[in-house]
């Protein structure tokens, strides 16, 4: 599911007022975090995640692990915060522009 630039822009505007739902601790991205994030994405579709410390490569590895594990797409990353999106096929909650 590739998002168009206009869809990314729309999702970034929606994510602006969100607070992080998932906070990664010292262990980083684990299987338990992926399961919890999967539930959050099923319910909300658009989720903010606060990553644990580390350098840029470590944070990118965490984002890749979370996105692949939940079949979601990264909409935006600013510092230690990443916004992930996955469409709920059964009950879509967000109407995306074309």
Q: Which pLDDT tens digit goes with each residue over 73-96?
A: 999 999 999 999 999 888 888 888
Q: Residue 26: pLDDT above 90?
A: no
Instruction: Output the pTM of the full model.
Output: 0.93
H or E element at residue 59: helix 56-70
State the CATH number of the domain containing residue 33: 3.30.110.60
Indicate whether 76 belongs to any domain.
yes
Structural contact between residues 62 and 51, judged by C-beta atoms closer than 8 angstroms: yes
Task: Report the distance separating Cα 17 and Cα 48, nearest Å.
Answer: 10
Average pLDDT over residues 4-14: 95
Indicate whether 78 belongs to any domain.
yes
* Strand ranges in 1-98 using DSSP code E only, listed in sequence order: 22-23, 46-50, 73-78, 81-85
Indicate whether 98 belongs to any domain.
no
Domain that holds residue 38: 5-85
Indicate whether 37 belongs to any domain.
yes
Number of structural domains (the chain) is: 1
> Would you place residue 1 in the very low, low, confident or very high pLDDT band (cuts 50, 70, 90)?
low
Average pLDDT over residues 50-62: 91
Higher pLDDT, 74 or 28: 74
């Amino acid at each position: 599911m590739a998002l168009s630039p206009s869809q990314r822009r729309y999702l970034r505007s929606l994510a602006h007022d969100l607070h992080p739902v998932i906070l990664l601790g010292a262990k980083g991205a684990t299987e338990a975090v992926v399961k919890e994030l999967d539930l959050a994405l099923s319910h909300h579709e658009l989720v903010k995640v606060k990553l644990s410390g580390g350098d840029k490569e470590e944070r990118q590895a965490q984002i890749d692990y979370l996105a692949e594990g939940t079949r979601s797409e990264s909409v935006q990353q600013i510092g230690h915060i990443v916004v992930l999106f996955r469409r709920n096929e059964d009950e879509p909650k967000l109407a995306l522009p074309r």
